[in-house]
Amino acid sequence: MKNQEIFHYLEKFLTEERLQKINFFAPESSDFVLPVMEDIFQFRNAAAIVRSVEACGFHKIVAMESENVFNPNLRVTKGAETWVEVEKLPHSLDSIKKIKNRGYKIVAVSPEKNATLLPDFSISEPVALVFGTEKEGVTEEILDFSDETLAIPMYGFTRSFNVSVAASICMYELKQKLLKSGIDYKLSEEKMWQMKVRWAVNSLASGEQILAKYLKENP
């Protein structure tokens, strides 16, 4: 496995503490729940989402961009951006279709269209959770395309959570459901090694150059 070989080369450049952390957390990582963000414009929200996703053991986000750039505030992420892969796609229905073709059920986090309440939501297959923009929520065409809608129960006059708070609640609750489910929701071995390579590169000041040199010498 190429990524395994690459990681074993990179690990000699890591501190023992960093290597132990990577080896400890990698087997627990998952992309079974994939948060998809619609054109988030507040960088503090972007950062809080990255931090919450990582804390729940999910290490990938899709950021769909049109008017705004998904640019987390590093003071808020507290280093989580080292571990979380952010895939940037155009803010379009075509991007959602691409994600669905990867095997994900598309679930829009929105109270519309007879939404299932989060406590009642059953997770049995990979899920892409779509979170709308701060002001407008999930766009209508994505709502119409979604396989299901999901709502967080509200108990006060306020009718919605801030998008970063909503993402935190959903990711945490779905992680709890997966832990109790018996589903094999963790990364495949190949995906895990690929992620470990990315983590090692991100952990090193000259990680990209070290990796490029290795790949040049070992085509």
Residue ranges at the known binding site for S-adenosyl-L-methionine: 152
- Site of tokens 């414009």: 41
Return the closest-CA partner of residue 54 out of 73, 38, 75, 31. Answer: 31
Task: State both tokens at 7.
Answer: 């990681």
- Site of tokens 């990867």: 102
- Outline where the chain has alpha helix (H): 2-10, 16-25, 43-55, 74-77, 93-101, 140-145, 163-181, 189-203, 207-217
DSSP 3-state assignment of 2? helix
Cβ-contact 193, 3 below 8 angstroms:
yes
Report the 10 Å Cβ neighbour count for 76.
Answer: 18
Binding residue numbers? 152
